[in-house]
């Protein structure tokens, strides 16, 4: 058995707790936590089960007793803290966006290439077993159309607010940059096709929140074309009442539509002219990749936390020199940033915009 990796988590909000739970579940060593203040760091260490609290994010990013740094802070700190961690020889698990602008992303990517460190980015929806099954069944298929939604409701009221609505903390794109990139990553992952150009509109339905003018979008309506000439569309929203976290992806081939819905993540829906089939996680017909990701017998549901833990397991395996299939890295984070940049440019120009390759 390998020695546990020593992990430090920066950020103690919802996603920081998810990272910490995955570290503990995998039997790794949660050495330290840093939060917004020294006092909050001490509280967070107790809450998340870490051995120690560190007074500042910068101190933890370079701490000699840490092998891998999980960065779960407001977005503006992602790239600066990753630079510190890489300079100190750490592996990194980095929440997206990986940078606030193109120059910052390019600089970070070059720094990463100059090291032998792993920088993994949590596009964790890739790790549902039925998503892997969907990917396998689409391999070599002639794809006609890709479409779907990612809908949330946590900012649907005029009184709802959060640090993410402020571009200086969250970046120039909110709804698309926060959740739209997850949809695009999943679409590219399962189809094997890359989005080449986009046409987008970015509605701002609530222009004032908590007495301050908002400069980020509440929703994104995106049309796109892949490099292979396949067209698609996605509706992204953080203002859709009753939709807590519905990521739905549908891919049409000549004989079958394949559909995944994160609200019902145990099934792969397959529609045909002559009938519809529902494939459940754990069914005998699943391929080897999907089957290998079954953690419990069929009938015992697996969900988001299990998929996130699967992502961290693969990230840590890569840090030990293995090469897990489908691990999202900083390259995928940079890809998400490039698509976001094209979406913003398209909305501003009201025209089609090419996605920068890379």
Tens digits of per-residue pLDDT, 139-198?
999 999 999 999 999 999 999 999 999 999 999 999 999 999 999 999 999 999 999 999
Q: How far is CA 301 from CA 3, 28, 250, 264, 306, in A?
A: 30, 24, 22, 10, 10
Residues 196-212 have a mean pLDDT of: 97
Across 71-93, b (16+ Cβ under 10 Å) vs e yields: bbbbbbbbbbbbbbbbeeebbbb
Domain total in the chain:
2
Q: Mark whether 24 and 140 lie in a shared domain.
A: no
Taking 90 as the threshold, does the pLDDT of residue 132 lie above it?
yes
Q: Mark whether 232 and 344 lie in a shared domain.
A: yes
Q: Is there a domain that residue 245 lies in?
A: yes
Q: Mark whether 147 and 281 lie in a shared domain.
A: yes
Q: How far apart are CA 92 and CA 71, in angstroms?
A: 7
Task: pLDDT band for 2, please (50, 70, 90 cuts).
Answer: confident
Decide which of 94, 117, 140 is a domain's last residue: 117
Nearest CA among 118, 106, 107 for reference residue 68: 118
Q: Mark whether 140 and 96 lie in a shared domain.
A: no
Decide which of 95, 117, 139 is a domain's last residue: 117
Q: Mark whether 275 and 225 lie in a shared domain.
A: yes
Three-state DSSP at 15 gives helix
Q: Is there a domain that residue 315 lies in?
A: no
Q: Mark whether 75 and 134 lie in a shared domain.
A: no
Nearest CA among 347, 349, 358 for reference residue 173: 347
pLDDT at 358: 72
**Structural domain boundaries enclosing 112:** 6-117
pLDDT at 1: 52
Q: Mark whether 152 and 263 lie in a shared domain.
A: yes
Query: For position 15, which CATH number holds?
Result: 3.40.50.720
Query: Beta strands of the chain (E only): which ranges?
Result: 6-10, 29-34, 52-53, 68-71, 91-94, 119-120, 145-151, 195-201, 208-209, 212-213, 219-226, 231-237, 246-252, 257-261, 267-272, 275-280, 353-354
pLDDT tens sequence across 26-51: 999 999 999 999 999 999 999 999 99
Taking 90 as the threshold, does the pLDDT of residue 10 lie above it?
yes
Q: Mark whether 51 and 113 lie in a shared domain.
A: yes
Nearest CA among 260, 259, 255 for reference residue 275: 255
Q: Mark whether 140 and 232 lie in a shared domain.
A: yes
Q: Mark whether 343 and 218 lie in a shared domain.
A: yes
pLDDT tens sequence across 219-273: 999 999 999 999 999 999 999 999 999 999 999 999 999 999 999 999 999 999 9
pLDDT tens sequence across 279-333: 999 899 899 999 999 999 988 999 999 999 999 999 999 999 999 999 999 999 9
């Amino acid at each position: 058995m390998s020695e546990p990796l020593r992990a430090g988590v920066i950020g103690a909000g919802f996603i920081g707790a998810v990272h910490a739970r995955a570290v503990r579940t995998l039997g790794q060593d949660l050495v330290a936590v840093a939060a917004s203040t020294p006092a909050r760091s001490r509280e967070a260490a107790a809450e998340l089960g870490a051995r120690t609290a560190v007074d500042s994010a910068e101190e933890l990013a370079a701490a000699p007793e840490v092998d891998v740094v999980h960065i779960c802070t407001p977005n503006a700190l992602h790239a600066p803290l990753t630079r510190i961690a890489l300079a100190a020889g750490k592996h990194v698990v980095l929440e997206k966006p990986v940078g606030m602008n193109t120059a910052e992303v390019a600089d970070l990517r070059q720094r990463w290439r100059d090291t032998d460190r792993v920088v993994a980015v949590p596009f964790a929806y890739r790790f549902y077993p039925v998503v892997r099954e969907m990917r396998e069944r689409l391999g070599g298929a002639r794809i006609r159309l890709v479409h779907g939604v990612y809908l949330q409701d946590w900012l649907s009221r005029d009184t709802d607010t959060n640090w993410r609505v402020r571009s200086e903390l969250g970046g120039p794109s909110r709804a698309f940059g926060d959740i739209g990139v997850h949809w695009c990553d999943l679409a590219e992952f399962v189809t094997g096709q890359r989005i080449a150009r986009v046409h987008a509109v970015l509605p701002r339905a609530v222009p004032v929140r908590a007495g301050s003018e908002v400069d980020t979008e509440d929703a994104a309506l995106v049309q796109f074309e892949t490099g292979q000439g396949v067209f698609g569309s996605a509706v992204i929203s953080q203002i859709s009442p009753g939709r807590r976290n519905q990521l739905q992806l549908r891919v049409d081939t000549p004989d079958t539509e394949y559909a995944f819905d994160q609200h019902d993540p145990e099934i792969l829906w397959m529609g045909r002219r002559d009938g519809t089939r529902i494939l459940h996680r754990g069914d005998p017909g699943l391929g080897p990749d999907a089957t290998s990701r079954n953690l419990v017998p069929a009938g015992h549901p697996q969900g988001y936390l299990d998929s996130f833990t699967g992502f961290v397991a693969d990230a840590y395996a890569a840090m030990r020199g293995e090469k897990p299939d489908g691990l999202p890295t900083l390259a995928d984070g940079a890809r998400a940033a490039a698509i976001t940049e094209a979406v913003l440019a398209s909305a501003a120009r009201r025209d089609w915009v090419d996605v920068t390759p890379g």
